[in-house]
Copies of this chain bind each other. A is one copy, B any other.
Amino acid sequence: MLVLSNDEITRLLTMQDTMAALEPMYRDYADSRALLSPRFDNMSPTPHAGAYYAFKHMGGAWPAQGVQALRINSDICTHPVIAGKPRRVKQPMADGRWVGLVLLFSTETGKLLAMFPDGVMQRMRVGAASGLALKHLAREDVSTLALIGTGWQAGSQLMAARAVRNFREVRVYSPRRESREAFVAEYADVRAVDSVEACVAGADVILAATSSMVPVIDPKWLEPGVHVGCIKSQEIDGAVLDRCDRVFVHNRKQAKQYNNVLPGTPNVKEEHEEGWWKDPVRRERYPDLGELLSERAPGRERADEITCFANNVGMGLQFAAAGALALRKARERGVGKELPDDWFTENVHP
The reply to whether the CB of A40 lies closer than 8 angstroms to some CB of chain B is yes
The reply to whether the CB of A271 lies closer than 8 angstroms to some CB of chain B is no
Q: A100 CA to B345 CA in the complex, in Å?
A: 7
- Report the minimum CB–CB distance from A254 to chain B (whole Å): 12
Q: A92 CA to B344 CA in the complex, in Å?
A: 13
Is B343 touching A262 in the complex (CB atoms < 8 A)? no
For chain A, the count of residues having a C-beta within 8 Å of the partner chain is 81
- Report the minimum CB–CB distance from A226 to chain B (whole Å): 26
Q: A262: which of B32, B108, B151 is its contact (CB, 8 Å)?
A: B32
Is A6 touching B262 in the complex (CB atoms < 8 A)? no
- Residues from chain B with a CB closer than 8 A to the CB of A263 are 32
The reply to whether the CB of A349 lies closer than 8 angstroms to some CB of chain B is yes
Is B90 touching A260 in the complex (CB atoms < 8 A)? no
Is A117 touching B346 in the complex (CB atoms < 8 A)? yes
- Report the minimum CB–CB distance from A269 to chain B (whole Å): 14
Q: In chain A between 97 and 146, which residues have their CB closer than 8 angstroms to a CB of chain B?
A: 97-101, 103, 105-112, 115, 117-120, 122-123, 126
Is A61 touching B37 in the complex (CB atoms < 8 A)? no
Interface-centre pick from A34, A35, A115 (highest chain B CB count, 10 A):
A35
The reply to whether the CB of A74 lies closer than 8 angstroms to some CB of chain B is yes
Q: A95 CA to B340 CA in the complex, in Å?
A: 12
Q: In chain A between 12 and 34, which residues have their CB closer than 8 angstroms to a CB of chain B?
A: 32-34
- Residues from chain B with a CB closer than 8 A to the CB of A105 are 55, 74, 99
- Report the minimum CB–CB distance from A229 to chain B (whole Å): 16
The 16 listed contacts between A and B (C-beta, < 8 Å) are A34-B262, A37-B42, A38-B260, A45-B63, A47-B107, A63-B262, A74-B111, A93-B109, A94-B111, A99-B105, A99-B111, A100-B349, A117-B346, A119-B348, A123-B350, A126-B350
A residues with a Cβ closer than 8 A to B are 3, 5-6, 32-38, 40, 42-48, 53, 55, 57, 59, 61, 63, 66, 68, 70, 72, 74-76, 90, 92-101, 103, 105-112, 115, 117-120, 122-123, 126, 151-153, 156, 258, 260-264, 337, 339, 341-350
